[in-house]
Structure 1
């Protein structure tokens, strides 16, 4: 059996994650105080750092739920340390989602941690494990939009508001896309335990391509327009306007040049 110190080691938060969280906090402070000479760079670091933190917590939610459902191997794999470098598919889980944000401002999900499903009994448990990750994005979206729907924006610097609005957009898109019932995504993982063995075997070969297929479909102009119209409508219901997300993305893409802060009265 493992010693108590070994068990604690599998649950100790990784210095890598703490470093990412520290960069996010410092860059967020720089955005809030307008400390940085180049606010776009500060927004980029803040939003990217917060996005990676959310990805780590997304995967952690999968692993923690699996642990309590019967898969004790997740601790030995290091999944409970929040270290993004220990994921089975670090490129899919972290690098590609960040590239997607940089390329198109889309919060596409990444590859999930490896769960030993054979250790888990009960279809509901399997569905909950898959749902735990995107539910984390839902929680992040609620937190990011809280200042907007609580009408608590008085005193919030405009640049920070824009960054928060853009981050909210990423979390909402990630939650929606994650819940799509597409093979390889969490939404399919939610319904998969309830499908017949024959259907699951037929769908299984397509799972590695599900994420790329979603990304490719979103490049179709009509689909992209329809999707973001739906996302914007949802964000408006939460108090985040297209103005907020537009300028958040403009500041985020600092390589395009730092935009002039609009001199208009924003809704509070």
Structure 2
């Protein structure tokens, strides 16, 4: 099978450039309070930035796989950052965006098909799986930089809320992805080190891993523990409540404005 690729196989897709442009313009609208509805601007900014992070997550998987031995990656279009080229665009883009809208959770998705038989070495397999959620970690660090650098002077209140909520999505995505559950990246990190017998037994469960995690989050006690952990990570990054919650309130602009958050936005 030929592994040759064209220059276009690595050229950044106009689709991704368009999404990034929406992110930049909506971020400017939030910062300057240009839009008549701050909530709509926050919605567009957070949603488009979230899609950008999903594309970078999958790109990290693909790029690491390419350098680990799977030279077919480029020909599949995974290096173009085009979300339409993913194997499961529904799982990778549509469902994560819907879950943000419905529940404010950064749901991980699975997209790029990697020909694992081309890759040699357990460390390489683990690194390929870890590359995606590590991108979410990096994204969270960047989003929270104004907070942990104590550089918030001049940053508008609504923009702080939006950044805090976007950081929450990245933290939830990283934590969920790193869970050692079949079908998630965390299991992909440890799978190469497990006995072959266990891997064969666990393999049929992979398609249901994400569904299981999502179902468990509906258990109040587990949901509380999970979000307590998310809050703890955000506090380490300098983001305290009610910033992420107010970001979610503005994001759901169709539900009306929260008076407490609106008062804080002007400070």
Give the structure-2-normalised TM-score: 0.96
Q: Number of residue pairs matched?
A: 265
For 2:141 and 2:32, how far apart are their aligned partners in 1?
A: 24
Aligned 1:55-70 pairs, distance under 5 A: 55-70=54-69
Aligned 1:165-176 pairs, distance under 5 A: 165-176=164-175
Does structure 1 residue 253 correspond to structure 2 residue 255? no
Structure 1 stretch displaced more, 121-130 or 214-223: 214-223
For 1:121 and 1:53, how far apart are their aligned partners in 2?
A: 30
Instruction: Kindly report structure 1 stretches of 4+ aligned residues shifted beyond 2 Å.
Output: 258-267
The aligned counterpart of 1:129 is 128
For 1:241 and 1:164, how far apart are their aligned partners in 2?
A: 12
For 1:206 and 1:2, how far apart are their aligned partners in 2?
A: 32
Alignment root-mean-square deviation, CA: 1.6
- Contact 2:89/2:111 (8 A) holds in 1: no
For 1:262 and 1:88, how far apart are their aligned partners in 2?
A: 41
For 1:40 and 1:115, how far apart are their aligned partners in 2?
A: 39
- Contact 1:101/1:107 (8 A) holds in 2: yes
- Contact 2:12/2:80 (8 A) holds in 1: yes
Does structure 1 residue 206 correspond to structure 2 residue 214? no
The aligned counterpart of 2:71 is 72
- Per-residue CA distance 1:197-234 (angstroms, 9 max, x = gap): 11001000000011111111111111111111111111
For 1:112 and 1:128, how far apart are their aligned partners in 2?
A: 17
For 1:168 and 1:256, how far apart are their aligned partners in 2?
A: 22
Aligned 1:113-192 pairs, distance under 5 A: 113-192=112-191
Shift of 1:236: 1.1
For 1:213 and 1:122, how far apart are their aligned partners in 2?
A: 30
Q: Which runs of 5+ in 2 are unaligned?
A: none
Distance 1:265 1:35, change over 3 A: closer
